[in-house]
Amino acid sequence: MEDAYARSVSEVLEFFAVDPTKGLTDSQVAEHGRLYGNNVLPQEQSTPFWRLVLKQFDDLLVKILIAAAVVSFFLALANGETGLSAFLEPSVILMILAANAAVGVITETNAEKALEELRAYQADVATVLRNGWFSILPAADLVPGDIVEVSVGCKIPADMRMIEMLTDQLRVDQAILTGESCSVEKELDATNVTNAVYQDKTNILFSGTVVVAGRARAVVIGVGSNTAMGSIRDSMLKTEDEVTPLKKKLDEFGTFLAKVIAGICILVWIVNIGHFRDPAHGGFFRGAIHYFKIAVALAVAAIPEGLPAVVTTCLALGTKRMARLNAIVRSLPSVETLGCTTVICSDKTGTLTTNMMSVSKVSVLQSAYDVPVVAEYSVSGTTYAPEGTLFDNTAEVQLETPANLHCLLHTAMCSALCNESFIQYNPEKRNYEKIGESTEVALRVLAEKIGLPGFDSMPSALNMLSRHERASYCNRYWENQFKKVSVLEFSRDRKMMSVLCNRKQIQIMFSKGAPESILPRCTDIMCNNDGSTIRLTPEIRSEIESKFQSFAGKETLRCLALALKRMPLGQQALSFDDEKDLTFIGLVGMLDPPREEVRSAILACMTAGIRVIVVTGDNKATAESLCQRIGAFDNLDDFEGLSYTASEFEKLPAVQKTVALQRMTIFTRVEPSHKRMLVEALQHQNEVVAMTGDGVNDAPALKKADIGIAMGSGTAVAKSASDMVLADDNFATIVAAVAEGRAIYNNTKQFIRYMISSNIGEVVCIFVAGLLGIPDTLVAVQLLWVNLVTDGLPATAIGFNKQDCDVMKAKPRKVNEAVVTGWLFFRYLVIGVYVGLATIAGFVWWFLYSDNGPKLPYTELVNFDSCPTRATNYSCTVFSDRHPSTVSMTVLVVVEMFNALNNLSENQSLLVIPPWSNLWLLGSIVLTMLLHVLILYVEPLSILFSVAPLSWAEWTVVLYLSFPVIIIDEILKFFSRKSSGFRFNFRFRGVDLLPKSEAHDK
- Catalytic residue numbers read 347
Q: How far is CA 434 from CA 178, 443, 809, in A?
A: 19, 12, 41
Q: How far is CA 336 from CA 247, 297, 339, 459, 802, in A?
A: 10, 32, 6, 49, 16
Q: Is 555 within 8 Å of 589 (Cβ atoms)?
A: yes
Q: Is 747 within 8 Å of 791 (Cβ atoms)?
A: no
Local structure of residue 308 (DSSP, 8 states): H
User: Residue 44: CB partners within 8 Å, gap ≥ 6?
Assistant: 112, 115, 237
User: HEC string of 312-334?
Assistant: HHHHHHHHHHHHHCCEEECCCHH
Which run of H or E residues covers position 459?
A: helix 458-463
Which run of H or E residues covers position 410?
A: helix 406-417
* Cα(101)–Cα(115) distance, integer angstroms: 23
What amino acid is encoded at 608 in this protein? A
Q: How far is CA 234 from CA 124, 231, 316, 753, in A?
A: 21, 5, 32, 43
Cα angle for residues 221, 226, 231 (degrees, 5° grid): 135
Residues 178, 180, 184, 188: is their CA dihedral positive or negative? negative
User: Residue 421: CB partners within 8 Å, gap ≥ 6?
Assistant: 434, 435, 436, 437, 440, 441, 444
* Cα(442)–Cα(491) distance, integer angstroms: 20
Q: How far is CA 863 from CA 450, 854, 860, 871, 876, in A?
A: 99, 15, 5, 13, 11
Local structure of residue 155 (DSSP, 8 states): B
Q: Is 24 within 8 Å of 130 (Cβ atoms)?
A: yes
What amino acid is encoded at 931 in this protein? L
Q: Is 143 within 8 Å of 30 (Cβ atoms)?
A: no
Q: DSSP assignment of 737-768, as one string?
A: HHHHHHHHHHHHHHHHHHHHHHHHHHHHHHHH
* Cα(346)–Cα(709) distance, integer angstroms: 9
Q: How far is CA 152 from CA 124, 215, 432, 701, in A?
A: 16, 7, 20, 31
Q: Is 741 left (phi over 0), alpha (psi -120 to 50) or beta?
A: alpha
Q: How far is CA 283 from CA 23, 79, 289, 776, 935, in A?
A: 93, 14, 10, 19, 35
Q: How far is CA 680 from CA 202, 618, 660, 690, in A?
A: 29, 22, 14, 12
Q: How far is it between the farthest Cα atoms of the chain?
A: 133
* Cα(247)–Cα(517) distance, integer angstroms: 60
Cis ω before 372 (30° cut-off from 0): yes
Residue 183: CA atoms inside 13 Å, Cβ hemisphere, count? Answer: 24
Which run of H or E residues covers position 564?
A: strand 558-567
Local structure of residue 958 (DSSP, 8 states): H
Burial class of residue 811 in the structure, from the number of CB atoms within 10 Å of its CB (0-12 exposed, 13-18 middle, 19+ buried): exposed
* Cα(178)–Cα(669) distance, integer angstroms: 8
What amino acid is encoded at 716 in this protein? A
Q: Is 361 within 8 Å of 551 (Cβ atoms)?
A: yes
